[in-house]
Amino acid sequence: MTSLDLLQSLNEAQRAAVSAPIGPVLVLAGAGSGKTRVLTHRAAWLILECGVSPHGLMAVTFTNKAANEMRGRIESLLGMPADALWIGTFHGLSHRMLRRHWREARLPQSFQILDQDDQERLVRRIIREQKLDEQRWVPREVQGFINSNKDEGRRSKSLSDRNDPTRKQLIQLYKLYEDRCAAAGVVDFAELLLRSFELLRDVPELGEYYRGRFRHILVDEFQDTNGIQYDWLRQLVGKTGAPFVVGDDDQSVYRWRGAKVENMQHFRREYGATVYKLEQNYRSTQVILAAANAVIAKNTDRMGKELWTAAKGGEPIRVYAAYNERDEADFVIDRIRDHQRRGLPLAAAAVLYRSNAQSRAFEESLMAARIPYRVYGGLRFFERAEIKDALAYLRLTQFRDDDIAFERVVNLPARGIGGATLELLRNDARDNQRSLWRAGHELAPALPARAAGALKGFFALIDRLAVEIAELPLHEQVKHVIQHSGLRDHHAKEKDNKGEARVENLDELVNAAESFSPENDEGLSPLGSFLAHATLESGETQAATGLDCVQLMTLHAAKGLEFPTVFVVGLEEGLFPSEHAAFDPDRLPEERRLCYVGLTRAMQRLYLTHAESRRIFGRTAYRDPSRFLAELPPGSVEDVRPRISVSRPLYAPDRVSFSSPVQDDAARRRSRAVPVPGEDLPMRLGARVRHAKFGEGTILRFEGQGESRQVHVNFEGAGRKILMYSLARLEQLS
């Protein structure tokens, strides 16, 4: 292929970017604009037209799949193997560099890499050796502290404790962890990149060698780079490099794992990069693009672009206001069936949601309708670890001799029952043909005092839970066990999105129990029937790979994918945008970008749904439609009316048009069972308040009325709390 042939298949903007003069280049590539095409063609252009040796070219991606795809495309364009090119992920390329220069990196030649689980186990071991309480010093939180600092290029010795005892202890654990890894000759994922960066920075001859070799560095998904990735790139580029980076600031949705969208602005200013914009979209209809443009336009500090397509028109965006989450799921499935009857494959439809917990209602409805589905990039609801943990506790309250349940939760949350104690129990149970529960009762008197006390405490907890839930309704049984087993608090303490997602899933398990209708299960109790139901559902396999099936996934997981038909569900204030983002100006822009990602996954048909009421941890919550719905261009949407046969909830608010969400505000407020902003509330939603025990926080929501009114407050130091308003004695700050 000649260099001219390379350009013939590209549009004008793509050709300009691919053939840009050698120097720092920033390509703003909108969704569906062909960014991978531009990146691979640029690599081929440099080799064929500019005479760059493949030996002097590096391409950086975020996934191994993307790296393999990029290599295949470049080789196809060149018509020959491209083995000399360094193509890979940030971590993969760093690993390659460290293997070559292990001495300079102060590593053993055969150094090993810790995966996430191995790293957590090592952190846990260090915490125990320091005789620290694992309930306060949660291993996963300590692990997060270590990794987040490494992602910003910070070693333990460079950190200040700021006269904070908690921070001082975390830094000490970080130092012990570093020492332990060094002694064992192992590195974790974050260490790969940090150690590689330090190698380039601190060994001048190596830095000069790589800067001289890789003058041309191509980077994909630049908006997702974190601090250390940007610094690593700077070390490689130096003063003479010609980086070519591609990204979309409107699709930066990973701040929670360290991504810095501002890196794009920093790159443009620092290197004086020439900016090229790819705005022509080859995926979606103009109607869909107009909606996406309207939503993202509300964000400030954008680098600026507007998607368009040569194909005009398209089907209107359908917006459905469901009565509740069950009605929402039924609507989606009815539409999928309609598409199926018209001969469209199931795989053409994707259901996108903000929170993993939302998948349950859709999974249940799809299974009931016998429609195959797959949860993309995640587990089915009843297969998730936190759900299995809660079910294990429930099983033990009903059957103490359940060894599988016993082993799963005997030390979760951590209560000081270690592997040695469990091994003694296993041996005794095997030798004497009895359960672990019975073995524990027999052996407890002979165990060391700490282990014996912890084991007896666990036995007492299970016995107490069994008594306390005996007369409760099913969903209250589940709720009580989740709360009083310590599982909910355990995950609530996790300082990342995973912890938040686990809590949401546990809350959804309560909702699942409340909506569960037991069949005639041969005299089983409601709880027994529910546990059997959960086991059977977890045993049901997802649709096999290659089978035509509906796709379920979070909006984060959907990034980079496309589908002819897309359902974005749960568009409600407090859900999407999330409750945290609703009153946090730093979080709301990312929620808006996430909405933009969701809208631009759709190729031909886009459905948006919201529910007037939704069960949250066993309570019915009434929420306003998402602000994102109000931002849609009026001429691009069609209001889909609900079916008459569906029963409204007892206190359902009047339906509100998506295009004018404030018109019927007074009517909505009169009909709500819970208060809304402006309704006889002494404090407004979003107000800053101070509590005598929990400190300062922000009001998120009110529930109930009169003396039973509750207030949800997100406290900066204590997290989210639900308080009786009449007893909380909150002091309003703003």
| Sign of the torsion formed by the C-alpha atoms of 525, 531, 532 and 537 | positive
Q: In the sheet that 57-61 helps form, which strands lie side by side, from edge to edge?
A: 86-89, 57-61, 216-219, 244-247, 25-29, 274-278
**How far is it, in rounded angstroms, from Cα 479 to Cα 469?**
10
Nearest to 593 by CA among 268, 302, 321, 359: 302
CB 691 within 8 A of CB 697: yes
Compute the half-sphere exposure of residue 664: CA atoms within 13 Å on the CB side of its CA: 16
Nearest to 355 by CA among 330, 331, 325, 320: 325
Q: 413: cis peptide before it, omega within 30°?
A: yes
CB 292 within 8 A of CB 302: no
Q: Which two tokens stand for residue 67?
A: 């790296």
Catalytically active residues, by annotation: 35-36, 220-221, 251, 601
Burial of 648 (0-12, 13-18, 19+ CB in 10 A): middle
b/e string for 720-731 if b means 16 or more Cβ within 10 A? bbebebeebebe
Nearest to 367 by CA among 380, 356, 358: 380
Contacts of range 18-21, beta carbons closer than 8 Å, 24 or more positions apart: 18/42, 18/45, 19/45, 19/49, 20/244, 20/274, 20/276, 21/274
CA 662 to centroid of chain Cα atoms: 31
DSSP label at residue 193: H
**How far is it, in rounded angstroms, from Cα 370 to Cα 669?**
40
CB 295 within 8 A of CB 251: no
Residues near 421 by beta carbon (within 8 Å), at least 6 away in sequence: 447, 451, 455
Q: 682: cis peptide before it, omega within 30°?
A: no
If DSSP codes are grouped into helix, strand and coil, which group holds residue 544? coil
Question: 525's torsion region: left (phi>0), alpha (psi -120 to 50) or beta?
Answer: beta
Residues near 127 by beta carbon (within 8 Å), at least 6 away in sequence: 134, 137, 139, 142, 173
**How far is it, in rounded angstroms, from Cα 156 to Cα 165?**
15
CB 289 within 8 A of CB 309: yes
| Counts of helices then strands in the chain (DSSP H, E) | 30, 22
